[in-house]
Amino acid sequence: MIKIIFFGDIFGKPGRNAIKKILPELKEKYRPDLIIANAENLSHGSGVTVSTIAEMREAGIDVFTSGNHVFNKQEEAQKILNEPDSPLLRPANYPSEDPGKGAKLIRIKDVNILVFNLLGRVFMKEDVEDPFTTAQNIIDYHKKDVNIFILDFHAEATSEKVALMYYLDGKISALIGTHTHIPTADNKITKKGTAYITDIGMVGPTDSVIGLKKEPVIEQYLTQIKQKMEVPENGDLEINAIYLEIDENTGKALKLEKIRKLVA
């Protein structure tokens, strides 16, 4: 059995602090073989940097997925993505000439695990390749050698996430939704053995609007005048993650448990 913890979008310094506070406790409780997190908001809520990825690797995260903000700090992102055996993924349905890769093969307990990352098109970047076809091509390419497929589908529309889950049902071990920062209550394991949740939620400041200070967000909605968005420096933190247990022979999910904790 392979045990995995997957954290939702880590939002800025508050999210990084939350990871460092909670991860020792979760590692003691669950004894995971692999720890994954979405990192596209890692650096002050927008993009990634060499130092923030290094900070989270030191905290204990093994692999980082991302999404539409991964290139917001372009030079930093390229440095990480171009590293040999980089821990960071960018969406696999971005243009093939973009830096980095959209999938990472990991071997644990003589089991091959493929973590891959896709970006939705509905209400997002509709110029990326079709995530449905891209997912199927990745599975077809690796299915002879891979036991377990873990997908982070970074998408806005609930319908697109649910549809992709049904399209890939039984072909992958887990489809984990990220991006909206709001945890959903539809976590399940299908009859065909695929674990699913529409959105894990985020790791970041609780008293916020999806990670940002609430006052300028409200002001922008009231006035329609663009405001400077900031990340709260103080306050309680929320941790949203899932814990997976997967059969190493069949690749079917055996357990999916939501993790939600608040820390000061």
Q: Pick the catalytic residue: 69, 154, 179, 181?
A: 69
Q: Which segments of the chain are extended strands (E)?
A: 2-7, 9-10, 34-38, 63-65, 103-108, 111-119, 148-154, 174-178, 188-189, 195-197, 202-205, 237-246, 253-263
List all residues 6 or more positions away from 72 whose beta carbon is below 8 Å from its beta carbon.
Answer: 46, 47
Q: Write the burial class of residue 222 (CB in 10 Å: 0-12 exposed, 13-18 middle, 19+ buried).
A: exposed
List all residues 6 or more positions away from 2 whose beta carbon is below 8 Å from its beta carbon.
Answer: 33, 34, 108, 109, 111, 113, 148, 244, 245, 246, 248
How many angstroms separate the CA atoms of 26 and 32, rounded?
A: 9
Q: Write the burial class of residue 216 (CB in 10 Å: 0-12 exposed, 13-18 middle, 19+ buried).
A: middle
Q: Is 69 a catalytic residue?
A: yes
C-alpha radius of gyration, the chain, whole number = 17
Rounded (5°) CA angle 43-121-86: 40
Give phi and psi for 160, each to the nearest 5: -65, -40
Amino acid (1-letter code) at residue 145: D
According to DSSP, the residues that pair with 108 across neighbouring strands are 111
> Catalytic positions, please?
69
